[in-house]
A and B are shown apart, each in its own frame.
Chain A
Amino acid sequence: MSLSKNEYGNLAKKYSPPSPVLKDCLFAFLIGGSICTFAEGLNLWFSSSMTEEESRTLAMITVIAITAILTGAGVFDSIAKHAGAGTMVPITGFANSIVSPAMEFRAEGTITGTAAQMFSIAGPVIVFGCSSAALYGLIIYLLKLY
């Protein structure tokens, strides 16, 4: 083959259709925005009968529960196919990334399958979430010292 890897890479790019970025962004904005508006609506509704902290937590739990049910019913991936980052970025994405491997690996046993694989996708989010929280906490602590 007379083509170098670089030349072939460019040729392959020419033949590979790009993702429809504008459409993806628009759907992500609309569906992601709707999810966040819905959660805020829940928050406002709950806050009439409890503290703000409790209502926020309950709104989050409700969205997680709805996502888990939709994932279990096999509907969530069909929505996410169009929504992209719109369902992945809110807590819906996190919930789906835990429920879906838990379902998929059920056949491999409760402990070695479901439990072991449950965080196979969400694991990095937890690792980096906790690490960055600790790092920012440390920075704030140090800033307050002086």
Chain B
Amino acid sequence: MATRIGKTLITDKKPLFLSSAAVAGKKEGEGPLGKEFDKIFEDTTLGQDCWEKAESFLMKNAVMTALEKAGKGMEEIDGIFAGDLLNQCTGSAFALREFSMPFTGLYGACSTMALSLICASLAIESGGMSTCIATTSSHFCSAEKQFRFPLEYGGQRAPTAQWTVTASGAAVLSDRTDNNLPYIDKLHIGTIVDLGITDAANMGAAMAPAACKTLSEFFRDTKTSPDDYDAIFTGDLGLVGSGLLKELMMREHGTELGGNYFDCGLMIYDREKQDVHSGGSGCGCSAGVLCSHILKSMKEGKYSNILFMATGALMSPVSSKEGESIPGIAHLVNIRRGERK
């Protein structure tokens, strides 16, 4: 069973990444990580008749590719933990309805990939499951439709706004004990922090305080500092949020986030050339980068100890209209590779 230190859980079985897969849309394919995705869909509709079906198709593809890479059949999966941004998590439910696997639908806004990894790891830690899948997706068009304006609406985006990533990532976790694969060493379930940001076009600012809380509490619990890790990845704070996180970490805790700190929202697009303003966002942003670039880099030995912290803005279009501020959340997973400690 996992051991608890403060708010951080240290895994005992060290669930490992048997495989991972990431599929993405055209714009993401044209970005700096384009070559690292398993599949790029040039057609935004993915051959479907609505955006919601297109998003489900993305996730279905990511899960099938991950299964294929793991050499596993559907019947060998004990549970799948999935989430997306659509109302009632229909993106995941419709993607996986034909999959004969015990399904848990999760919602953590853009933090869902870390949340699903945490839930899958805990299921493995419990001893009740031995092979699980963690997956999330987002699609630019379905997110725009639900949270903002129709796609063809002629409006201007604020410079602080982020671009919802069209991508899905899936990871197959297992209780196997191979030594060469990345594994989940520690988990940290985030605490909701709301510092009164009400601007739905400035999610980075809304999520940064939660990221600061999770990261600082993780460092406190584990008695570590940023220098102890090869890389620290946040999910989708974007330009505004990652700047604020650095400032908050320094101001509140005297911790400097330096050259080993990256944000998936800033990695997935070329911000200047691709006109994405503050960077990428969405469940598919952190999932897409983790399940392609990050885990590949770990397998290649580039990194052996990283922090993956996905951030989420827990608001809805209704709460924004009702004048509510935006509660932020950040879940963290410490992934390592090499000899198990």
A interface residues, Cβ below 8 angstroms from B: 1-3, 5-6, 8-9, 11-12, 15-20, 24, 71-72, 74, 76-77, 79-81, 83-84, 87-88, 92-93, 96-97, 99-101, 103-105, 107, 121
Q: Which of B49, B150, B156, B243 contacts A104 (CB 8 A)?
A: B150
Nearest to B159 among chain A residues (CB) is A17
Q: Which of A9, A20, A104 contacts B145 (CB 8 A)?
A: A104
The reply to whether B212 and A15 contact each other, CB–CB distance below 8 Å, is no
B300 within 8 Å of A (CB atoms): no
In Å, the complex CA distance between A87 and B153 comes to 11
- Chosen A-B contacts, 13 in total, with CB atoms closer than 8 Å, are A1-B193, A1-B212, A12-B208, A17-B159, A71-B154, A76-B152, A77-B153, A79-B154, A103-B151, A104-B145, A104-B151, A107-B50, A107-B52
Nearest to B212 among chain A residues (CB) is A1
The reply to whether B243 and A8 contact each other, CB–CB distance below 8 Å, is no
Known: A8-B209, A15-B243. A100 touches B202 (CB 8 A): no
Instruction: Tell me the interface secondary structure of chain A in the complex.
Output: helix
The reply to whether B156 and A84 contact each other, CB–CB distance below 8 Å, is yes
Q: Which of A2, A16, A93, A121 contacts B252 (CB 8 A)?
A: A2
Chain A residues closer than 8 Å to B213, beta-carbon distance: 1
The reply to whether A97 and B153 contact each other, CB–CB distance below 8 Å, is yes
The reply to whether B152 and A104 contact each other, CB–CB distance below 8 Å, is yes
In Å, the complex CA distance between A96 and B152 comes to 8
B195 within 8 Å of A (CB atoms): yes
Q: B153, B244, B251: which has the most chain A beta carbons within 10 Å?
A: B153
**What 9 A-B pairs have minimum CB-CB distances, sorted nearest first?**
A80-B154, A104-B150, A5-B196, A107-B50, A12-B205, A100-B150, A100-B152, A100-B153, A8-B195
